[in-house]
Structure 1
Amino acid sequence: MSFKATLFSLTTVAVLVAAGCSTSRAKPQPLQGSKPQPLQVSNPVMPGDYADPSVIRVGDDYWATATSSEWAPHFPLLHSKDLVNWEQAGVVFESAPEWAEANYWAPELLEDKGQFFVYYTARKKGGPLCVSVATAAQPQGPYTDHGPLVCDPDGSIDGVLIRDENDVPYLVWKQDGNSRGQPTPIWAQRLTEDRTRFAEGSTRQQLIVNDAPWEGSVVEGPYLLKRDGWFYMFYAGGGCCGRTCSYGEGVARSRKLLSGWEKHPSNPIVGANAEWKCPGHGSVVTDASGQSYLLYHAYSARDTVYVGRQAVLDPLTWGTDGWPSINTHQGTGGGKRAPTGFSDEFNGSTVAMGWQWPQGNRPQASVSGGMLTLAPNANRATEPAGAVLARSTNTGQYVAVTALDPGGFASGTQAGLSAFGDPENSVGIRLKGSTLEVWSRQGNKEQTLGSAPAPGGARVYLRMTAREGHFFRFSASNDGSHWLDVGNELNGDFLPPWDRGVRVALTAGGVVGASARFDSLTITPR
């Protein structure tokens, strides 16, 4: 058996972490008389749940990060040589910052004067959403957190750094007024030169607010750049997430950072089309030829919101009027990338990059001898799914299969395979003693929906077949070839699709001392 890692899983390649990366960012110059030729892109370039993507170029390398929401570890760090093919090379935070408890959103990865910054959103313990900042000497970290910068009572999100026309650093962020039925201004306020605190005596200045019909109750996700004497702000408007989303990406510009902002008369510059819906919240990067691109997220219109918001890439075209456009206002462009599969046979010495767990509940997980051993922490041991280890998907049509070693189960142990939305909403199949159970947890209320005797043998194979992202069938086998259905098809449309995708998860728990051994997980598109 061999470990396999496909593109959508974005698993680590160790040499990427060790690779040297220049921190110089000289402005790229195209050849005299030539015009940059955009990349031929098939979207998504980051298949799976990678909302609010942020990207920079560092020498010949590209680095990116994205929202992790309620999944840990927090904020994946992704590496690419070509903007199209990405591998995960690390994370910003292996453990949550001490001050924060939830809502790990919208990390903005930036380089400024040779230093690297991640401005990010999280919820303060017992308090509101805040914008915080972490710093590093290199894009792959390690990152040092500096705590919250701003915590408006109604929430502060989507922070980004920009220097004004006098080279003075400012934080730009959104006040989350929509959470209280209020307008959503985007503010700017001067920072200290270390860019981790507001300058003493500084005050905030409103740049834009939601005042156009297409924006609805929200403008957010600002990304600012300077070009030809203008400041440009790319921003999102409308409803970001879920089945009723209405997101789009707009742009505004001004000669000065703190005043004179005008919005593009043809906003949004990216809207829905037949392939992609609810696009928005991105950042701009320029390649060595001088061609600029917007990396942003969108839902696949042909798939489901249960996959999550995937990262897509489009070249920017600058008109003679100085305004940018994308795909001639026809929505997300490029070809459509076919879904890919995932396989982990646990042949390494550690749990591979890309596995996730519910934030605040890191399981005990180790790999040895081609097996993953999974166990809950003591305070979650009696929960049926006290330990959760999960992967995202890149399609709503898939078959997930795991092989479970039933030997050595402590009495009362439950272990299995799940479509996991969050700890209060999930469905799955589990081995419980000599019985297989299909179960559903909705609003933290659990019920058993089907059962069957477990097949004998050295391995119990469990299979979950998904369609449209939220209909699931479960079956079991003792050889991985001959399958017995357990229960009927489940409708899991209650699984939380609002700001994250549903994961395929391995689970274990049920009793103090619970532990389970898995020898593989595969996810195959169908």
Structure 2
Amino acid sequence: MARHRLLKAVLALAAAVGLLFGGLTASPRPDAGAQPAPRGAAITNPILWQDFADVDIIRVGDAYYYSASTMHYSPGAPILRSYDLVNWEFAGHSVPRLDFGAKYDLNGGRGYVRGIWASFLNHRKSNNTFYWGGCVDFAKTHIYTAASVDGQWTKHTTIDKCYYDAGMLVDDDDTMYVAYGNTTLSVAQLSKDGKTEVRSQQVFQTPSNIGTLEGSRFYKRNGSYYIFVTRPANGQYILKSTSGPFGPYTVQQVLLNLPGPVAGGGVPHQGGMVQTQNGDWYYMAFVDAYPGGRIPVLAPVTWTADGWPRLQTVNNRWGTNYPAPNLPPPPRPVKPMLGTDTFTGTALGPEWEWNHNPDTTRFSVGNGLRLQTASVTGDLYAAKNTLTHRIPGPTSTATISLDLSAMRDGDRTGLAMLRDSSAWLGVKRDGGRNRVVMVNNLTMDGNWNTKTTGTEVAGAGFTGNRIWLRANADIRPGAGRQARFSCSADGVNFTSFGPGFTLNSDWQFFMGYRFAVFNHATQSLGGAVTLQRFDLTTP
């Protein structure tokens, strides 16, 4: 009954004004985005309130690079770049396409919560080459290389074993090693060209009183070898060898149950360490902060006289603030992560990732992003060419403008809050007419199969060919956080549409919520929409 009363009220509003959205309260357009902080900016945690999990961080010259997991999103393994460890920009992706089987194309299967897990990123000075590597589907390890992080990445080799949660070390003599494993930790030596494994051996068995250790990162300092590992999801440990990369190793605790800097969030853990140009060390970890995901935090590290790292805390917790890193002036400001995209180039920027691999014949960029229908389905989770964007926290707003003039009967398009429990606001075209609708109750089961395809909870007729859709999301960690939708016929006057959508704050899906733009058919292919503009603002 509540649904019917809501629908009746929305329809009555549309009838009263003669056209949906007329005469509504004005809402300002999103601004152009935040400006980068000045040089010498202090560390304020979280460094980024966005979902960038399983951190690997390196420095090459004066630039810092940050690699993260992406599971089923494509392209995979995004790389961020910074010159001060505080302000970051999107630089590229190490995995241009999830070339690991048909399920990542949404053909005959689906790759949800598979794909790109904790992986490594490093740079080899001898050939000026970046290396990315990761185990996919618990089967094989794939290694990609590139001359620059924002250039073309190429699949370099496939090793017929799983380097689970791997970290790479390029030793002083240019030998490449990979530390990997869960509880039973091993080190592999790669061939000179990095294409094959020369040897591998177990180097550490985690004591029962510690439990599980994984998420390896591999370092060398003052002649000693270190494997930096996490106890999920509340601890960090480090192994040290003075006898070479194959050990033996001794272990020390770095942190356990340390209060974090994000209210309601978890213990900082996993991630990696990096040494600055001036010799200082920092640890970039992540904090579980669902429904938004796993977000990065940064803290200084010092070393004891006998060569063990110590995290600098503030009042016995990971600090919210630390002094600015002592670094040279940056060569340029980084590109802000907020702002507007009008899709005027020839390709999507690296801030965009598709839900699974896209059908590249069904979209084009330039004067907007044209999304042709690529799937005939009633299930958004099965629809190809759904474009996603991370949600900045603690709250943020995405506003899109869609040209609907090429839609066909049976087509569905809109703006979604996408995760294992989803909702969307958009347009259904049936019988030659458009209706604007809100749909919620799209859910997955524990195996990431579709459980429910959604329930329409609000709807009204719409006669225009251009519509603005908006989602405001509160992704602060904790239960009961909501997203709210609104829409407009002119891009200025917005009205709320449908009930608030309560976000799922469970961790099991691993990835946080994303804004998603979709267009799929339920009858036949041939229709299209054009995404003319995407605005992202906070708060």
> Given that residues 260 and 319 in structure 2 are in contact (C-alpha distance below 8 angstroms), is that contact kept between their aligned partners in structure 1?
no
Using the size of structure 2 for normalisation, the TM-score is 0.76
Q: Deviations over 1:320-355 (max 9, x none)?
A: 342211123844335399x98443233444433311
**1:190 and 2:183 are equivalent in the alignment:** no
Q: 1:142 to 1:316 in 2, by over 3 A?
A: same
**1:146 and 2:135 are equivalent in the alignment:** no
- CA–CA distance in structure 2, aligned partners of residues 352 and 166 of structure 1: 37
Match of 1:354 among 335, 351, 355: 351
**1:82 and 2:70 are equivalent in the alignment:** no
**1:319 and 2:304 are equivalent in the alignment:** yes
TM-superposed deviation, 1:120? 2.8
Structure 1 residue aligned with 2:424 = 428
**1:254 and 2:241 are equivalent in the alignment:** yes
**1:111 and 2:123 are equivalent in the alignment:** yes
- What percentage of residue pairs aligned between the two structures are identical? 24
Match of 2:536 among 519, 523, 526: 523
Match of 1:284 among 273, 279, 282: 273
Aligned counterparts, 1:25-424, within 5 A: 40-98=42-100, 102-115=114-127, 116-124=129-137, 128-151=138-161, 156-162=163-169, 169-175=176-182, 184-199=183-198, 202-209=199-206, 211-213=208-210, 216=211, 218-238=212-232, 246-256=233-243, 257-264=245-252, 266-268=253-255, 271-275=258-262, 277-299=266-288, 304-328=289-313, 330-335=316-321, 341-362=338-359, 364-369=362-367, 371-377=368-374, 379-380=375-376, 385-421=383-419
Stretches of structure 2 that go unaligned for 5 or more consecutive residues are 1-28, 105-113, 325-335, 445-449
Structure 2 residue aligned with 1:437 = 437
- CA–CA distance in structure 2, aligned partners of residues 167 and 355 of structure 1: 35
TM-superposed deviation, 1:449? 3.1
Structure 1 residue aligned with 2:511 = 500
- CA–CA distance in structure 2, aligned partners of residues 481 and 146 of structure 1: 49
- CA–CA distance in structure 2, aligned partners of residues 52 and 395 of structure 1: 18
TM-superposed deviation, 1:307? 1.6
Could you say what the CA RMSD is over the residues aligned between the two structures, in angstroms?
Answer: 3.3
TM-superposed deviation, 1:80? 2.1
Aligned partner of residue 291 in structure 2, secondary structure: helix
> Given that residues 124 and 170 in structure 2 are in contact (C-alpha distance below 8 angstroms), is that contact kept between their aligned partners in structure 1?
no
Structure 2 residue aligned with 1:181 = none
Aligned partner of residue 165 in structure 2, secondary structure: strand
Task: In structure 1, give the amino acid aligned to 2:246.
Answer: L
- CA–CA distance in structure 2, aligned partners of residues 104 and 427 of structure 1: 25
Aligned partner of residue 91 in structure 1, secondary structure: strand
- CA–CA distance in structure 2, aligned partners of residues 408 and 166 of structure 1: 60
Stretches of structure 1 that go unaligned for 5 or more consecutive residues are 9-37, 176-183, 239-245
Match of 1:509 among 520, 534, 538: 520
Between the two proteins, the alignment pairs up a number of residues equal to 461
TM-superposed deviation, 1:165? 9.3
TM-superposed deviation, 1:477? 2.3
Task: In structure 2, give the amino acid aligned to 1:429.
Answer: L
> Given that residues 380 and 387 in structure 1 are in contact (C-alpha distance below 8 angstroms), is that contact kept between their aligned partners in structure 2?
no
Q: 1:258 to 1:353 in 2, by over 3 A?
A: closer
Q: 1:496 to 1:427 in 2, by over 3 A?
A: farther
> Given that residues 130 and 148 in structure 2 are in contact (C-alpha distance below 8 angstroms), is that contact kept between their aligned partners in structure 1?
no
TM-superposed deviation, 1:223? 1.4
- CA–CA distance in structure 2, aligned partners of residues 295 and 194 of structure 1: 29
> Given that residues 373 and 518 in structure 1 are in contact (C-alpha distance below 8 angstroms), is that contact kept between their aligned partners in structure 2?
yes
Q: 1:477 to 1:496 in 2, by over 3 A?
A: farther
Using the size of structure 1 for normalisation, the TM-score is 0.78
Q: Which has the higher contact order (CA 8 A, sep 6+)?
A: 2
TM-superposed deviation, 1:269? 6.4
Q: 1:468 to 1:58 in 2, by over 3 A?
A: closer
Task: In structure 1, give the amino acid aligned to 2:517.
Answer: L
Aligned partner of residue 105 in structure 1, secondary structure: coil
> Given that residues 379 and 453 in structure 2 are in contact (C-alpha distance below 8 angstroms), is that contact kept between their aligned partners in structure 1?
no
- CA–CA distance in structure 1, aligned partners of residues 45 and 67 of structure 2: 17
